[in-house]
Structure 1
């Protein structure tokens, strides 16, 4: 894998063996986690408040009153969906941390939205891995733990990548902020997987990060 030269004005990639050793990266991860946890707790408090309100309108709810039914609808449909989203964000942050503890940061010349692939649950994106016009990863699912369909156009001018180009990993803005998961959209071929398996060191690192799956 070739390493692209960094622009002189861009933050320099840390020399640490794993990306999570970089103080800036750890700080960015913790900030993202605090925001998700804060929103999650806020949603729980809101749910408890709705429960109290529902209990106050229990009689009206049984009679089909609009206030009680509205609260019951919020509590039964909307709140579980919101909680599900925040739990997914926390799990995604945990996956990011596993990758960052297994791989170093590498500078990549560009990341881009795939021009012909769309995604319902994130952004279909590619990372440029070499100097040739065709040296892009396959289209993978890019998701921000805070905003799942967010795309930062600044990455088109350079990005940090940690992971394996075949399995995915994590990408971020130069400096380690804007952390996002970068995951395969489909299973790779058996032949490609077996070819990677022959490299014990590469496969061991991928499995340590829990991305080494077909």
Structure 2
């Protein structure tokens, strides 16, 4: 468990458009690099075969490596879906500063690490447990959360955490979804309509 000290001065942040731009660029660059590596791994044995020097069994390893890299790249495309969710949330909810975020634990999945965390509010001990994944995937808890984070969303439905400095995003929803069913059911028409527009009225994570 890691807990950041509480701060009182919100760090500088940028608008939702800039946050999304940086994360889409990060995801695009990552996918592009992986596709280039895959292409090179495929091209090597093909080129050597044309030169009649493809007898070595070692060359088959290039093809195997290419398949593995391509499969891992395909897994990364799912984060285009999470990016779409983050975009909708940021379109319908404002970013608000939270002075403290507490990482409880993390678990490994083939798509990237999944975290459980609490986002501190103004009432100590009331922050619900959340489940989160990085908007563009990857491993490891994002750096820079110790100074507080920016949050958009609704605690009963879900939302987005934006880390100051790096602008990394975490898409989150309540870890105990059913526990908050009554609160969601009693949400006013305006609150529920906003959650539906942001596509977080149902469990997505």
Indicate if the aligned counterparts of 1:112 and 1:127 stay in contact, CA closer than 8 A.
Answer: yes
Select the residue among 133, 142, 145 that pairs with 1:151: 142
Any stretches of 5+ residues in structure 2 without a counterpart?
A: 1-6
1:107 Cα offset (Å) = 1.8
TM-aligned CA distance change 1:171 to 1:129, over 3 Å: same
1:122 aligns with 2:110: no
Aligned counterparts of 1:80 and 1:137: Cα–Cα separation in 2: 36
Aligned counterparts of 2:60 and 2:74: Cα–Cα separation in 1: 21
TM-aligned CA distance change 1:43 to 1:142, over 3 Å: closer
Structure with a larger share of its residues in strand = 2
TM-aligned CA distance change 1:124 to 1:92, over 3 Å: same
Aligned to 1:209: 198
Any stretches of 5+ residues in structure 1 without a counterpart?
A: 1-5, 13-22
- Could you list the per-position Cα deviations for residues 114-134 of structure 1 after superposition, in whole angstroms to 9, with x for gaps in the alignment? 1xx4322232211012322x1
TM-score w.r.t. the length of structure 1 is 0.74
1:95 aligns with 2:96: no
Alignment of 1:41-120 (within 5 A): 41-58=32-49, 65-85=56-76, 87-114=77-104, 117-120=105-108
Indicate if the aligned counterparts of 1:112 and 1:156 stay in contact, CA closer than 8 A.
Answer: no
CA-based RMSD: 2.8
TM-score w.r.t. the length of structure 2 is 0.77
Aligned counterparts of 1:124 and 1:84: Cα–Cα separation in 2: 22
Aligned counterparts of 1:143 and 1:111: Cα–Cα separation in 2: 15
SS at match of 1:118: strand
Moved over 6 A (4+): none
- Could you list the per-position Cα deviations for residues 151-200 of structure 1 after superposition, in whole angstroms to 9, with x for gaps in the alignment? 33x424422110111222101135792322123445424xx425423322
